[in-house]
Amino acid sequence: MEVVKTAIEGVVIIEPRVFKDARGYFFESFSQREFEEKVCKTQFVQDNESKSNYGVLRGLHFQKPPFAQSKLVRVVQGAVLDVAVDIRKGSPTFGQHVAVELTEENHRQFFIPRGFAHGFVVLTDEVVFQYKCDNFYAPQCEGSLAWDDADLGIDWIVPADKILLSEKDKLNVPLKDAEWLFDYSENLYK
């Protein structure tokens, strides 16, 4: 696997080696050993999968300690724009984001470390989206930010009138109004 650094330290794109022939393709989607050597030491404990239609936007979500999560995400079918936002107070990249298109054709994966909010929007008629998490889901530790926060400046590609949100995500607040954020000086992987 090739690890591509982004403008924000720790947020990386993973491009697997894909072997194609007349039968189709094969690739190793995850290796704990290689991930720890090239990205970071963490142990994934939960795999999730969602299916969504065009315009569905899930996010921007995070979990607070002690259930903060890193995520390794990928698309099995379709395409999404995937976004990670730095919400670590004191970080030199606080409030900045990285956006990457993940598709069934490019097989890219996106690693979002602890201390970041995460979201994606569906760019195709339908998408099957998978993510590995290094901590268990804990509803009491949920946090979220508004997808359309002007201060974040995220271009979601999909027109705003085509965005479909859950009722809960319609209530998300801008970063400046968030009641709880991560502390950049804190080690989130202890």
Among 169, 122, 115, which residue's Cα sits nearest to residue 146?
169
Count Cβ atoms below 10 Å from residue 103 Cβ, excluding itself. Answer: 16
Among residues 97, 107, 118, 131, the one annotated as catalytic is 131
Verify whether residue 184 is a known catalytic residue: no
Among residues 54, 61, 97, 137, the one annotated as catalytic is 61
Verify whether residue 189 is a known catalytic residue: no
Which positions ≥6 away from 85 have C-beta within 8 Å?
Answer: 60, 95, 96, 97, 116, 117, 118, 119, 145, 152, 154, 175
Q: What Å distances lie between residue 22 and 107, 108, 111, 140, 175, CA to CA? A: 18, 22, 31, 49, 49
Asked if residues 172 and 148 have their Cβ atoms less than 8 Å apart, the reply is no
Residues carrying an active site annotation = 61, 131
